[in-house]
Amino acid sequence: MKKHVMFLLICFAVVLAVASIGQAQKKITGPWLWMIAPAGPVGGAAVTDVDTLKKASGGSVTQESVAKNGVKAGSACGKLNWTWGEISATGDDNVNDVVTKIGFGKGDVDRHDSWAYLELDAAAKKGVTAKAGSDDSIKIWLNGKVVHKNAVDRGAGDFQDTFKVDLIDGINRLLVKVGEKTGGWSMFVGVDANYNVVAVESAGKLSTKWASIKNR
């Protein structure tokens, strides 16, 4: 009897592990183009709708312009340039890890906003399920339109929000803003569809397909 129970427990643990791996594989790890900017004395949920990107660039770059038209690697925004970085599919501080790796900050960076941009090459499809998780607040644009927003101060190590998006045929521009207050800084985004992650290398260069990702 004990052996039977132990066998069932092991099987259950294996199923959970496989499910966890499958979910992690659905997260879009990039590489993304990254930018950060100071979010004032508070940060997080309080500035979810504030375009701190515009303030950091002196008005030359806005959230709406990036969401609608995209951005090139190496393009300037204030004192920083949009830089490629791949984000981990796990962990409760994965944005901070990227920020450190690409040289935007060191240690825990508090009261800042991050923007992550990439392009998905996909077939047209309406009502596609998308998921997101964030520490703290999150705002997502797809093809120039806000498709999800959650002005909240919270921790995150996985998906938390579910919403629907409409994919167009060809290039889909995806921009994700995460507002960090204090502590952990994380981002998780996934789209339940087949797509290629496309990386626009820099101004004047052609787009290249980095990876083909099948989520079904």
Q: Shortest CA distance to 200 belongs to which of 64, 83, 110?
A: 83
Q: 119: which strand partners?
A: 173, 198
Q: Could you give the CA distance from residue 138 to residue 48 in angstroms, rounded to a whole number? A: 7
The DSSP secondary-structure symbol of 46 reads G
What is the reported pLDDT for 213? 44
Q: What is the pLDDT of residues 25-60, one digit of tens each?
A: 489 999 999 999 999 999 999 999 999 999 999 999
Please report, for residues 13, 20, 112, 119, the alpha-carbon distance to residue 32 in angstroms, rounded to integers and kept in the order given: 33, 23, 18, 9
Instruction: Kindly state the DSSP code that residue 164 receives in the 8-state scheme.
Output: E
| pLDDT single digits (tens) 95-154 | 999 999 999 998 899 999 999 999 999 999 999 999 999 999 999 999 999 999 999 999
What is the pLDDT, as a whole number, of residue 133?
Answer: 98
Say how many domains are in the chain.
1
Domain span at residue 164 reads 2-213
pTM above 0.75, yes or no: yes
**Structure confidence at residue 19 (pLDDT):** 36
Output the domain CATH number for residue 152. 2.60.120
Q: What is the mean pLDDT of residues 177-200?
A: 95
Cα–Cα distance for residue pair 83/130, rounded to 1 Å:
25
Across the range 75-90, mean pLDDT stands at 97
